[in-house]
């Protein structure tokens, strides 16, 4: 397999080109021919044999069973598996810090990135601007079967104090390990110290640590750009050191290309969620 292009390369058996292509497809899919879409419905066996035996510098391409297949007259078969991953967290290749780029809030994508392990084997830290943790959990629970084993919340900026009280009362249930409220969202030293403290507490167990930071957008809007970028550099380092899997919400719309590029460069991976919910990993 070519690791750069994620395309498998095979050589055709001159005696049976169609059979060679079928074997290549079976190998990539890991399934018997009877379980696959009939190849003869997609490409004519005789035409394929003629291509290999009589043509020169010609190729034919087709798609079958989520595979993009190219067969050349030189006897090469290239097969790329285009089967989409079912979950975003399966596509981030072990990244510690993921930039979740979307123009509207996607709770489903957020929960997906919090689901790198079974929930009862996770500890969760939520860092939220102007939204109570309970309100966010209520949104998450549309997609979560259960809450993570232990959670901690850091709320920033203005939100109803009654929400803060409700969140602290939630700690009595044992689901919320700790709650912190930082009224001044631009107080980055206080925020950095609080994040470090909460990471240390949650990382004390052998559970997977997951983090939702919402949002980079608000951080950049409330803090001078260079200070915000330096804070993000330090925070991503902390997440990696704590073996956390953290994602950071970001709407690039209010910012210039230079700022978007500077932010993107700080992260191991970037997930772009379209308005229709489709996503890509970059």
| Distance from C-alpha of 39 to C-alpha of 266, rounded to nearest angstrom | 45
Mark whether 101 and 236 lie in a shared domain: yes
Count CA atoms closer than 13 A to 204's CA, side-chain side: 9
Q: Computed from CA positions of residues 227, 190, 242, 219, in that sequence, does the dihedral angle turn out positive or negative?
A: negative
The DSSP secondary-structure symbol of 83 reads P
Decide if 2 is inside a domain. Answer: no
Residue ending a domain, among 59, 81, 103, is 81
Q: 95 and 216: one domain?
A: yes
Q: Which of 258, 259, 253 lies closest to 272, judged by CA? A: 253
The domain total for the chain is: 2
Shared domain for 104 and 53, answered yes or no, is: no
Token reading at 235: 């925070």
282 residues of the chain, pLDDT tens digit each: 443 446 888 888 667 888 889 988 888 888 887 778 888 888 888 888 887 777 677 888 888 887 889 998 888 899 987 766 578 887 887 899 999 998 777 788 898 898 888 888 999 999 998 777 777 877 777 777 777 888 899 999 875 544 444 444 343 343 556 788 999 999 999 999 999 999 998 988 889 999 999 999 999 999 999 999 999 999 999 999 999 999 999 999 999 999 999 999 999 999 998 887 778 888
The CATH number that applies at residue 273 is 3.40.50.300
Closest CA to 55 of 78, 73, 76, 43: 73
Q: How far apart are CA 102 and CA 112, in angstroms?
A: 14
Helix (H, G, I), strand (E, B) or coil at 18: helix
Say yes or no: 71 and 129 in one domain. Answer: no
- Residue 138: which domain range? 88-281
User: 10 with 19: CB under 8 angstroms?
Assistant: no
Residues 156 and 197 placed together within one structural domain of the fold: yes
On whether residue 63 sits in a domain, the answer given is: yes
In a domain, 140, yes or no: yes
Could you tell me if 126 and 184 lie in one domain? Answer: yes
Residues 137 and 242 in one domain: yes
269-273/279-281 β-pairing: antiparallel
Alpha-carbon gap, residue 9 to 75, rounded angstroms: 11
DSSP code at position 181: E
Pairing between β-strand 176-182 and β-strand 59-64 as defined by DSSP bridges: unpaired
Instruction: Report yes or no: 179 and 171 within 8 Å, Cβ to Cβ.
Output: yes
Co-location of 72 and 119 in the same domain: no
Q: Say whether both 113 and 203 belong to one domain.
A: yes
Q: What are phi and psi of 236, to 5 degrees?
A: -60, -35
| Domain end (from 35, 63, 81) | 81
Of 18, 53, 81, which marks where a domain is finished? Answer: 81
Domain match, 160 and 68 both? no
């Amino acid at each position: 397999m070519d690791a750069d292009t994620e395309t498998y390369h095979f050589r055709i058996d001159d005696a049976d080109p169609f059979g060679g292509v079928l074997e290549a497809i079976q190998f990539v899919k890991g399934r018997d021919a009877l379980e696959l879409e009939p190849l003869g419905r997609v490409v004519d066996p005789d035409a394929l044999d003629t291509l290999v035996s009589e043509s020169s510098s010609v190729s034919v391409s087709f798609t079958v069973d989520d595979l993009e297949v190219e067969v050349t007259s030189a006897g090469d078969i290239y097969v790329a598996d285009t089967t989409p991953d079912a979950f975003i967290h399966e596509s981030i290749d072990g990244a510690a810090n993921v930039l979740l780029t979307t123009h509207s809030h996607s709770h489903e994508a957020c929960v997906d990135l919090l689901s790198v392990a079974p929930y009862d084997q996770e500890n969760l830290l939520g860092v939220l601007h102007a939204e109570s943790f309970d309100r966010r959990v209520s949104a998450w629970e549309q997609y979560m079967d259960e809450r993570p084993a232990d959670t901690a919340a850091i709320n920033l900026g203005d939100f109803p104090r009654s929400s803060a009280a409700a969140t602290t009362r939630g700690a009595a249930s044992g689901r919320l390990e700790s709650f912190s409220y930082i009224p001044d969202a631009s107080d980055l030293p206080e925020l950095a110290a609080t994040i470090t403290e909460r990471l240390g507490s949650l990382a004390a167990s052998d559970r997977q640590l997951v983090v939702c930071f919402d949002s980079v957008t608000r951080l950049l809007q409330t803090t001078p750009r260079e200070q915000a970028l330096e804070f993000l550099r330090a925070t991503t380092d902390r997440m990696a050191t704590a073996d956390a899997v953290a994602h950071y919400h970001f709407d690039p719309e209010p910012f210039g290309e230079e700022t978007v590029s500077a932010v993107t460069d700080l992260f191991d991976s970037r997930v772009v969620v379209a308005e229709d919910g489709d996503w890509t990993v970059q």
